[in-house]
Amino acid sequence: MLLLTLVILLVAGGLYIYRRDVRETQPHAEMTHDQIKQQWRKLGFYCELDDEKKLWTLTGSRAGLLYFPDLLLGYVTDPLNISSGHHEHYGPYGSLEVMTWAEPGFDGRAIRGSLVDLARLAAIIESKLAFAQPGEPLRIRAEYAPGSPYSLLLDVRPDGFDPASADPERLGPVATQDPKRRDPAP
């Protein structure tokens, strides 16, 4: 009987993880392309996970990427997130997951750590972005979680970069907005 219960729990857990992964990588059926674009813009950056390269990539301007440390600090200050295993999803697909965990790290599921670790990650990102130039990729792993199987890459783009344009699979080719360009008056 114990063996049967264990098998049922393993199958149910596997089904839950599979359904969670499928659900998180797809936008809500009722979301339009414009709503997806607005969600990326609200987040301030585009996020993607590449399991083959073992890489979390956040793409945005310096100003947009600075929303990520703010997001982390907001997560840290929420008393609901104190429990290990608690997590939150961000972005239109819910693919960016931040998780409270005993050890800091990046993996195929989440960017994780204790609340103190996540606050430290926010500080690392802010310091790296302070002098970052467009086109300069910033990789974070050793200074946050040296034993982590994945890394975090900040892909710094020029000011005025539209993070929604980095979602080529669903929204078309990459484009940037020129902040100096002004549309002629009608």
The CB density around residue 44, as the number of other CB atoms within 10 Å, is 18
> Which is more confidently placed, 15 or 49?
49
For the stretch 106-115, pLDDT in tens is: 999 999 999 9
* Domain limits, the chain: 40-159
Residue position matching structure tokens 């500080």 = 123
List 60's β-bridge partners, or say none. 156
Nearest Cα to Cα of residue 129 among 43, 42, 66: 66
pLDDT tier, 28 (very low <50, low <70, confident <90, very high otherwise): low
| Residue whose C-alpha is closest to residue 65's, from 117, 170, 174, 138 | 138
Q: Does domain 40-159 have CATH number 1.25.40?
A: no
Give the model confidence (pLDDT) of 54-83 as tens digits.
999 999 999 999 999 999 999 999 999 999
pLDDT band of 182, cuts 50, 70, 90: very low
| Tens digit of each residue's pLDDT (9 = 90 or more) over 151-166 | 999 999 999 999 999 9
Average pLDDT over residues 117-132: 97
The whole-chain average pLDDT of the chain stands at: 82
Is the pLDDT assigned to residue 22 strictly greater than 70? no
Task: Show the beta-strand stretches assigned E in the chain.
Answer: 46-50, 55-61, 87-90, 96-100, 105-106, 111-113, 137-140, 151-157
**Is the model more confident about 29 or about 50?**
50
| Rounded Cα distance, 123 and 104, in Å | 14
Q: At what angle do helices 115-129 and 67-77 cross, to 10 degrees?
A: 160
Strand order in the sheet with 105-106: 87-90, 96-100, 111-113, 105-106
